[in-house]
Amino acid sequence: MGKSVLIVDDSPMLRQKVTESLREAQLFENYFEANDGFNAIKVLSKEEVDMIICDVMMPRMDGFKLMEMISKEKRLEEIMVVMLSANRGLFDKIKGLESGAIDYITKPFHPQELVVRVRILLKMKQLQNELKTKIVELKRVTILDDLTGLYNQRYLYDTLKREYNRSDRFNLKLSLVMLDIDNFKDVNDTYGHQRGDTIIKEVARLLQVVLRGYDFAVRYGGDEFIIVLSQNTVIGSHIVAERIRKTVEGSPLLSELNGGKHITVSIGVATFPDDTKGGYEALISKADQALYSAKRNGRNRVAYNMEDENSKF
């Protein structure tokens, strides 16, 4: 969809002059007009607009009042506003810029001056949008694991700390599920690291399928994963962990990637405050201990109670 401009002025001749100048320079695809602030608001309620070129002095609602109305609407905050005025006073220029206008042009103006200023503003906006996109991508890269697309350790620690403090404050349950792939070194040694990476990615995908929308999985390192289960009880976390275990073991694709043999995972579960009240790091440590309990007792199982290492859930 092409860029759109709204020209707001009580003079039909000036609106025509502005429109013709911008059309000739091919700066916008869609042109809308309004003769005062009230009609401008009507246009904005129905149309997507990239820029407003607005007179200051208009009947019913002037340019400053229009800017005030625009500033109250979050969906309009990205619109660039250029104010036009016959008043050459410094006070009005300052007031216009302080009200949110990105530029201020005094009348009468040369059409070429308007075109040049608008072109510069559009270029600035394009560069700003590109920068925002790069910042979002950079942020995404810093919290996501390259191989699996799951969250990474950095995101885990930042988010788990907040979740733990929230659970402590409001007396909520918080569970961690830690798992790794059984005998994964043998898989790498037999089929190579590329096949191993494919298996890790598929396990990560299955975790995302099993989890609720507000839980999240982290690639903790190598073939090890952590799942954060907010407001999940001991029983609830065991149900999720067992579902994960069965889903991985029953995956035809994982079996095919492993030469026809099932891929299995060992899982440890820890819950706040049942297992520890010593902070989020202690909760990770408890889940890690439970994971190694599962491995010591034969793998392909879920372990929770360290005092009952023979239990299989």
How far apart CA 200 and CA 189 sit, in angstroms, is 15
Residues contacting 39, CB < 8 A, separation 6+: 8
List, as one string, the DSSP characters of 54-120: EESS-SSS-HHHHHHHHHT-GGGTT-EEEEEES---HHHHHHHHHTT-SEEEESS--HHHHHHHHHH
Q: Could you identify the residue written with the tokens 């399928």?
A: 209
- Is there a contact between 105 and 86 (Cβ–Cβ < 8 Å)? no
Active-site residue identified among 62, 145, 182, 223: 223
How far apart CA 65 and CA 57 sit, in angstroms, is 10
Whether residue 168 lies in the annotated active site: no
Q: Which residues are catalytic?
A: 223
